[in-house]
Amino acid sequence: MDRTAVVPTRRVSSLPHFNTSTSTLAFDQHFTTNAKGILLLVEILSGMLVWILVGGTDYFHLSALCWVMFVAILLWITTICLFIIYLTGVHNRMPQIPWTTLSLCFNCSAAALYLVTAVVEAVTVKQATRGRHSYNCWAASAFFAFLTTLCYAGSSYLSYRAWKTKEEEQ
């Protein structure tokens, strides 16, 4: 007697299988208490003060202050994005991006750009007429530009240490 074996088979769907579990971004509660997080927060706040103080005046009559606004807003937005990436832990989920090198390059570039910006703004303020509302805003903005420069320099140092440590581990 010829028996044919019946083997149960499972039908395989041609549709891709997606993970049905939901993933939320992790919130690093301790990030804002370490030096890197504090410096990023100060960079965001002081950078915001730079462009708010300049933006509240008739800065567009002076091309030097247009440069100040460009640098201040560009680096402010980029710093906010970087802060969110580190705060939510996205940098840990994307290991193919060299975050330490990226952070080092960004912070060094930002420190250099803000140094040039702060000097340009200080020279422009020195040439402005005293006693005007714009003069006071520009002087305060120049102070915060130098403060932001120091913060980016501090972040550059921390990024360099992290980069050097990571390079020595490899």
pLDDT tens, per residue, the chain with 170 residues: 555 655 555 555 555 554 544 456 678 788 889 999 999 999 999 999 999 999 988 888 888 999 999 999 999 999 999 999 999 989 889 999 999 999 999 999 999 999 999 999 999 988 877 657 788 899 999 999 999 999 999 999 999 999 999 888 77
Region of 23 on the Ramachandran plot (φ > 0 left; ψ -120 to 50 alpha; else beta): beta
CA distance 134 to 58: 7
Query: From CA 163, how far away is CA 23, in angstroms rounded?
Result: 29
pTM for this entry: 0.81
Hey, where are the domains in the chain?
31-169
- What is d(CA 130, CA 15) in angstroms, rounded to the nearest whole number? 72
